[in-house]
Amino acid sequence: MAALENKATLENTLENLRAMPLHQADANASNPVVSNPSPPSAAPERPSCAVETTIAIIGGRWKVLILRELLGGVKRFNELHRSLSGITQKMLTQQLREMEDDGIVHREVYQQVPPKVEYSLTPLGQSLEPILAVMHEWGERYLRAVSNRDKDRR
């Protein structure tokens, strides 16, 4: 049942994606009024598309893997570091800080000696679970398709 709901949700999302412009400039292309662009500001440019926003939040090599680990529950830094083969402590720290700043990871510091820090997903972070599940399903289908294609070429 959940798979059918996920499929329906995915199809609805895909329809919405097809209907929306990829960039704000595309949305304004039919508008004959040309305005002068605003001067550059110090603030970083925000993505104009919801998919761009999602990729900005969870994109990169490590963030999805960190999310996968935290979907299993609360983890301490060293638990995360051991479970993510190849990530440096510096990179893990940076990624966790970015995810905390974006509101998808919660960092709990316990005032004790030695210090204890635990990481968990916020409700917003937990809301990414169905997205990751659909990405997982797509990855499996892709790997099967590539494997079948390679077999057909032999």
- Domain boundaries along the sequence of the chain: 49-154
Task: Kindly report, residue by residue over 78-137, the tens digit of the pLDDT.
Answer: 999 999 999 999 999 999 999 999 999 999 999 999 889 999 999 999 999 999 999 999
Quote the DSSP letter at residue 60. Answer: S
Task: Supply the pLDDT for residue 20.
Answer: 44
| Mean pLDDT on 68-82 | 96
DSSP letters spanning 7-50: HHHHHHHHHHHHHS-SSHHHHTTT-----PPPPP-SSPPPPSSH
| Mean pLDDT on 49-69 | 94
If phi > 0 it is left, if psi is from -120 to 50 it is alpha, else beta; for residue 86 that is left
d(CA 51, CA 57): 10
d(CA 77, CA 64): 16
Task: Kindly report, residue by residue over 8-52, the tens digit of the pLDDT.
Answer: 554 555 455 444 443 333 343 333 333 344 444 455 666 689 999
Tokens at 118, concatenated = 């635990």
Measured in whole angstroms, how far is the alpha carbon of residue 5 from the centre of its chain?
A: 21
pTM: 0.67
| Strands (E) located in the chain | 75-76, 105-110, 116-121
Q: Which residues pair with 107 in a beta bridge?
A: 119
Give residue 110's identity as a one-letter amino acid code: Y
Q: Which CATH number fits domain 49-154: 1.10.10.10, 3.30.470.20, 3.90.1300.10, 1.10.10.60?
A: 1.10.10.10
